[in-house]
Amino acid sequence: MTPLNAPGADPFYFLGHDGPVARLVKDFPWGTTCLGRVETWPQSLKTATALLIHSPVPMVMLWGEQGVMIYNDAYSVFAGHRHPALLGSNVREGWPEVADFNDNVMKVGLAGQTLAYQDQELTLHRKGYPEQVWMNLDYSPVLDETGRPAGVIAVVIETTERVLAERRNRQEFQRLQSLFAQAPTFMAMVSGPDHRFTLVNPEYNKLIGNRDVIGMPVREALPEVTEQGFFDLLDHVFTTGEAITRTSLRVLLRWRDQGPLEERFVDFVYQPIRDQDGTVAHIFVQGSDVTERVRAENHQRLLINELNHRVKNSLAAVQSIVTQTLRHATDPGQAAQAITARIMALSAAHNVLTQESWDSADLRTLAQAAIRPFQAPDRNTIELEGPDMRVGPYAAISIALALHELGTNAVKYGALSVPGGTVLVRWNVSGQSVFTLEWIETGGPVVTKGDYRGFGSRLILQVLPDQLQGKAEVDFRPTGIVFKLTAAVEAISDHAA
């Protein structure tokens, strides 16, 4: 049996491989290169060649000072149209467009040092034209039998596709960021099962109080919403892939560190975003802060309900005026006049309240409106005296109707029925708890209880104090009648219609 290294034996016994490049290596005239005939190769060169030929990853060896190239099948794919001419060529001649780069590789490698590059960009002519290529490159020296560097071996992993994909993703991400930033509604993107923020736009930042939440899970970024059900909604979308939409949903958010919770209302959608394999990887959050709209709608409903309530009260007051007036009327014409006058007094009180949005009324303004029909054209027959104060809607209507009845009686029977008569309307608050309103007539004829009959007297002596939870009395003095109403300030100020 002939030994493998004996004359006539296969000189490429050390390859032990029959791939495309291995066959080219066997057929190549190595004697025309500085490596010489394969029979003269040192064992270190044979071992390194066998190592790279068998490797499944792209590898190339640059042997000697000229960097004669030997590579494997995987590298031949990387080399493109440069293969097979690269085999056995000097690296400077094989890749002339990156000669300077490879000169440095040879210099460092033959000095016994290593080099490593991540996503190294080079322009190569692999297909007959220049193209940008990105690679992970690892260079190590190959030692000869004396322990000295005799060549350089390289692992070449092309990353062009990944780099370009990442670049496209970054560009798309930047475009998405730009769209987010310009969007009039709030937007955010959360990723993974813990829902980490990867994108937020200015409107979303505004909603959450301008917190730095990028990279944080929602539970850490917005701890105050832990018990408000939003995490459960996100978990549902992530696990089921079903979008969720909510409108006018109440959320409490803390706009400042250690600050109070602020009530907001939002319309939003949680939209699942799937990866290429169809699994949910992200959730797109889009919506609007509709707090002002919801508050306006609530206020509108309140106003409608309040208006409905007040219209019913007004109709009830008109019904009572008509019923009570007609009950004691003997003359239809006089009854019609009385009804009209009383409704006009009610209307005057409504006008004052409407100017104040039915919140309350200034008592002086209210009294002026109520007594205006009874004032003499050439002088003030009715004087007003009292501090500035406001009364609630319910009290305003009651007081206005009472002043109207007192004025009507004064014109018929009292101080305003004669030229020299006057009336003083006076009010005050004693001890910040008791309100007093007085109607004091002087200069008129003597008035008796018999003159105070019918609905008007019943309104000022019974209905008015009952409505205001107070007390009313009339003193029939020889100088003129004095009407006095006392009630709690709270009933006057806060009793709403």
Q: What does residue 161 show for φ and ψ, rounded to 5 degrees?
A: -60, -45
The amino acid present at 336, given as its one-letter code, is A
pLDDT tens, position by position, 224-279: 887 899 999 999 999 999 999 999 999 999 877 777 888 999 999 999 999 888 99
Least-confidence region, from 193-197, 378-382, 479-483, 485-489: 378-382
pLDDT at 330: 61
pLDDT tens, position by position, 159-184: 999 999 999 988 988 887 788 788 88
* Helix, strand counts (H, E) of the chain: 16, 17
**Dist CA 32 CA 425 (whole Å):** 130
The tokens for 120 are 């190294």
Query: In this structure, which topology does domain 176-289 adopt according to CATH?
Result: Beta-Lactamase (3.30.450)
Phi-psi region of 241 (alpha: psi -120 to 50; beta: other; left: phi over 0): left
pLDDT at 305: 61
The amino acid present at 20, given as its one-letter code, is P
Higher per-residue pLDDT: 305 or 15: 15
Measuring CA to CA, how many Å separate 280 from each of 3, 92, 237, 238?
Answer: 63, 50, 8, 6
Residues of the chain with CATH 3.30.565.10: 295-494
Would you say 237 and 283 are in contact if contact means Cβ atoms under 8 Å apart?
Answer: yes
Would you say 430 and 451 are in contact if contact means Cβ atoms under 8 Å apart?
Answer: no
Helix axes 393-412, 332-355, angle to 10 degrees: 140
Q: What is the pTM of this model?
A: 0.51
Q: Kindly state the DSSP code that residue 35 receives in the 8-state scheme.
A: T
Cβ of 421: how many Cβ atoms within 10 Å?
20
By percentage, how much of the chain surpasses pLDDT 90?
55
Residues of the chain with CATH 3.30.450.20: 20-158, 176-289
pLDDT tens, position by position, 376-429: 777 788 999 999 999 888 788 888 888 888 888 888 888 888 988 999 999 999
Does the structure show a pLDDT above 90 at 93? yes
Candidate CATH numbers 3.30.565.10, 3.40.50.300, 3.90.1150.10, 3.30.930.10; the one for domain 295-494:
3.30.565.10
Higher per-residue pLDDT: 127 or 454: 127
Q: Kindly state the DSSP code that residue 260 receives in the 8-state scheme.
A: P
In the structure, what pLDDT confidence band is assigned to residue 331 with cuts at 50, 70 and 90?
low
By percentage, how much of the chain surpasses pLDDT 70?
84
Concatenated DSSP letters of 353-399: HHHTTTS-EEHHHHHHHHHGGGS-SSS-SEEEE----EE-HHHHHHH
The tokens for 259 are 């600050």
Candidate CATH numbers 3.20.20.100, 3.10.20.30, 2.30.29.30, 3.30.450.20; the one for domain 20-158:
3.30.450.20
In the structure, what pLDDT confidence band is assigned to residue 370 with cuts at 50, 70 and 90?
confident
Closest CA relative to residue 86, chosen from 52, 54, 61: 61
pLDDT at 87: 98
Does the structure show a pLDDT above 60 at 306? no
Tokens 């190959």 correspond to what residue? Answer: 142
Would you say 342 and 367 are in contact if contact means Cβ atoms under 8 Å apart?
Answer: no
pLDDT at 462: 78
Does the structure show a pLDDT above 90 at 290? yes
- Which residues on neighbouring strands pair with residue 232, listed in sequence order? none
pLDDT tens, position by position, 19-32: 999 999 999 999 99
Concatenated DSSP letters of 61-115: EEETTTTEEEE-HHHHHHHGGGTTTTTTSBHHHHSGGGHHHHHHHHHHHTTT--E
| Mean pLDDT for the chain overall | 85
